[in-house]
Structure 1
Amino acid sequence: MSDLLLQPEHAREPLQDSFSDVSNPIALDGIEFIEYATLKPQALGQVLEMMGFRPVARHRSREVTLYRQGTLSIVVNAHPPDALGASHGADHPSISAIALRVRSARAAREYVLERGGWEVPSHPDAMELNIPAIHGVGGSRIYLIDRYQDFSIYDVDFIPIPGAAAQPPVLAGLNFFGIVQYIGIGRSYDWIEFYQTLLGATLIPDEQRFGIMPSGKLMRTPALHTGQSFMIQLVEPAVDAPDPREQLQRIGLGVPDVLAAVQALRARGVEFVESPATHSGKRGAISKTYLGSVVFELVHSAAEPT
């Protein structure tokens, strides 16, 4: 566990070389949670529950709810200053943060800052953890989490909802496959360099595709043996796109059997896009857009949920 959260600078242990690896420089170990910011948390909660997530805990001091299925965690942040800032004045939810598991948050923070990452100033309230973060696309945050095994961040910052299961069962083998990021025209290689330099992600050849939404550039993050790598899909908009802003656009969920997952989710009320150009198949499926911005993409993946 990193002492970044507990000790002042002069009292911390020296950084260890063992945290540095050419193929995995920040000892990345998968996704801890994905955060939505919204001023309509109940409406977003209904969408998440259709997808199989359940509310399991609430933040001690902020209007923030933790949704989970298995070990997949989605945080719904309705704390007004956060929700207003992340939405840029829009009334729909936005993916405002990704929390990455790392072996040492302190070592990872030092590494990314030395290589050009921009730190997000933190102002934790009393009894809250000071979790390091850097700026991501469109004002989003990339958190660095090292409390995720025997003792987690949720043990400190959240209060369990009475009667809620800590880990509701996983629906159809869902696991975090990746994130889709919309970027500015001509900005692909800027973001490729960003993720290569800070996370050690590698570019996947154009001929290697996943799912049914094949546009853009694909990158794969490294992972420790205890976690899973995940994909980052960088998509440039069309020249005449109505919304050319850079943003995290949708979550990719891996499933061992796409058609079985579609059937299970449809039974819960989830609707999928079915058109001649885009339709559910063995390789993938994409949900309709809920609340103006919330989309889930299913991708065939042999990986089992962690």
Structure 2
Amino acid sequence: MVDRLLWKEVVVDDAAQGFEVGHNDFQHVVDIAGQGVCFLDFRHGNHDVPEFPGIFLAVRAERHANIGRHRQTQGFRVECGAVAADHPCFLQFLTAAGNLAGRQADHVAKLRVGQSGIVLQCGEKFHVIAIKRNSHAYIPIFSHGTCKILRAITWIAHTLRVIRGILCGNNRPFEGEPVMGPFPHDAPPAQITAQNPAGTDGFEFVEFAHREPEKLDALFRRMGYQPVARHRTKNITLYRQGDITYVLNAESGSHGMKFVDEHGPCAPAMAWRVVNAKHAFDHAVANGATPYEGNDKTLDVPAIVGIGGSLLYFVDTYGDKGSAYSDEFDWLDATDPKPEGVGFYYLDHLTHNVYRGNMDKWWDFYRDLFNFKQIHFFDIDGRITGLVSRAITSPCGKIRIPLNESKDDTSQIEEYLKKYGGEGIQHIAVGTDNIYDSTDRLAANELKFMPGPPETYYEMSKDRVQGHDEPLERMKEHGILIDGEGVIDGGMTKILLQIFSKTVIGPIFFEFIQRKGDEGFGEGNFRALFESIEEDQIRRGVLNTEAAE
């Protein structure tokens, strides 16, 4: 779909009160999150026939928005009024539609960030139809009657966009270009739609299991997590930091501990938030998923079998609906707390390693069952070994799962598969608003990081990430990596900061990340990370450089 509004879903899904989309007697303007309104031509379904439906609907990216947890909810005083038939109107160029992270918004016509749209503004008096307020955005919806001059300006605006599209055709996306989704994780609640058939809405927890649970307890505390609840009848403990939940399973005979028998210390399951757990389960099974019916689950919710025999749970009680844990767990102190810890507050992505030949199999699994989209593809060669990686994301944009596959018999992916005894989670990435402070606190807690890059990496970072002003000395202190486009489009920041722990749960490690308008996975650092791990393999004698030569 190119340059066309997904017009049947944008307003009705978000508005506190619905109205008829496509009605010719009204013009509607929607302003998301207090940002400026911009115009996108709202053509009828037939792309070739210029229609004049009298409706304009768009949002615009806020280039300097605080996209962390501290964004403030705002509201409006409701005023009613009328617009005269001869009220003056005018056109004004504004920034193209985008989400709060500065990327193209999912639910509007696909323009490149930085490409101008046209806003149709018609005076001072509007009749407010509905206002919805939540922690993510305020959404005022205005309407007023149309008249001949509005239809004329509609035609002018459409013509200007066609001309501009011809002149700036190189800014247009490819047909069907995937959009990664909003950042951070606290985007508007998902709905079950044709685009999101299972109703995915984010990560709920990651489960870990160990024969010596006290070792994971010490690790989690070192990373800032606190025990917040214990199962009433099983040896299972919940750890929490921000909106991140880790489940520590030490229950004999459970699926998690059976997984330990096969893999050693491991991550035997993850859980997703979904609109309706039964619907998500039924939809997945109907499309080929294997249901898990065992009585040894961590949580009494629907589950299917995922990568390497791990479980994928579906949870529909979260947020304003309460807690999925209250029926089976006792809270140790406050109910459903979100302790600050060392500053991490959301699960960013879970990277999986799979056997050669299986990456496409699991890509098909996520695509066919849940309508995931591919957003990145990497083909990396180190000094001796290589890998390919396919990064995919859910329709809601909140679940991101890179899939790694080795290109040879000796790579770090193969080493993981041998040590882990099969496919599974390679690393868990969590997000923060201040990676420097969080990393300092992790280091103070004696968490060990992967070796940092050489001095030249930081010397060249200004050239590679244009316009960034990150403190190089603080980055070098622990080996923080930087990636992204830098500062672009007159001040828009697209920077990613990341650092990795050493392997701490068998071959599993953790990634700590801060996004400043960048939605990627550190593509520019991917090779650096791969080569860093490869050098570690060489030092440990796992790889033989002479044999490779």
TM range (shorter): 0.7 to 0.9
Query: 2: distance between equivalents of 1:221 and 1:54?
Result: 29
Compared with structure 1, are the counterparts of its residues 157 and 80 closer, same or farther at alpha carbon in structure 2 (3 Å cutoff)? Answer: same
The alpha-carbon deviation at position 137 of structure 1 amounts to 0.9
Q: Which residue number in structure 2 is paired with residue 6 of structure 1?
A: none
Displacement after TM superposition at 1:21 (Å): 1.6
Once the two structures are TM-superposed, the CA of residue 250 in structure 1 deviates from its matched residue by: 1.6
Give the secondary-structure state (helix, strand or coil) at the position aligned to 2:217. Answer: helix
Worse-superposed segment, 42-51 or 283-292: 283-292
- Structure 2 distance, partners of 1:130, 1:162, is 23
User: Paired residue for 1:36?
Assistant: 208
| Partner in structure 2 of residue 286 of structure 1 | 500
249-258 or 189-198: bigger deviation: 249-258
Query: Are residues 190 and 48 of structure 1, via their aligned partners in 2, closer, same or farther at CA, if it must alter by over 3 Å?
Result: same
Residue 408 (structure 2) pairs with residue 235 (structure 1): no
Q: Which residue is 1:256 aligned to?
A: 433
Q: Report the alpha carbon displacement of residue 221 of structure 1 after superposing the two structures with TM.
A: 1.5
Whole-Å separation in 2 of the counterparts to 1:284 and 1:296: 11
Alignment of 1:67-106 (within 5 A): 67-82=239-254, 83-90=256-263, 92-106=264-278
User: TM-score, normalised to structure 1's length?
Assistant: 0.81
| Of 306, 317, 322, the match for 1:136 | 306
| Secondary structure class of the residue paired with 2:507 | coil
Q: How far apart are 1:229 and its partner, in Å?
A: 0.8
List, as ranges, runs of 4+ consecutive aligned residues in structure 1 with deviation greater than 3 Å.
Answer: 162-165, 256-260, 275-279
- State the alpha-carbon separation in 2 of the partners of residues 299 and 55 from structure 1: 23
Q: Which moved more, 1:281-290 or 1:134-143?
A: 281-290
Q: Which amino acid aligns with 1:292?
A: G
Which residue identity lines up with residue 480 of structure 2 in the other structure? S
The offset of 1:163, in angstroms, is 7.4
Q: More deviation in 263-272 or 276-285?
A: 276-285
**CA offsets 1:87-132 (integer angstroms, 9 cap, x no match):** 2444x4211111101110111111101100000013279xx96310
Larger Rg: 2
**Contact preservation (8 Å) 1:30, 1:101:** yes
The answer to whether the 8 A contact 1:65-1:76 is kept is yes
**Could you report, residue by residue, the CA deviation over 1:31-57 in whole angstroms, capped at 9, with x for unpaired residues?**
111101221111101101111100011
Separation in 2, partners of 1:122, 1:131:
11
Q: Does 1:166 align with 2:337?
A: yes
Q: SS at 1:119's partner residue?
A: coil
What are the ranges of 5 or more consecutive residues in structure 1 without an aligned counterpart?
Answer: 1-17, 208-213
Distance 1:79 1:206 in 2: 39
Taking only the aligned residue pairs, the percentage that are identical comes to 27
> Would the alpha carbon gap of residues 260 and 230 (structure 1) be closer, same or farther in structure 2, given more than 3 Å must change?
farther
Aligned to 2:362: 191
Greater relative contact order (CA < 8 Å, ≥ 6 in sequence): 1
Deviations 1:39-82 (A, max 9, x none): 11111011011111000110011110000012211100111222
Structure 2 residue ranges without an equivalent (≥5): 1-189, 379-386, 458-478, 483-496, 518-549
User: Which residue is equivalent to 2:17?
Assistant: none
TM-score (norm 2): 0.46
Q: Aligned in 2, Cα 1:221/1:158: closer, same or farther, shift over 3 Å?
A: same
Partner residue, 1:8 = none
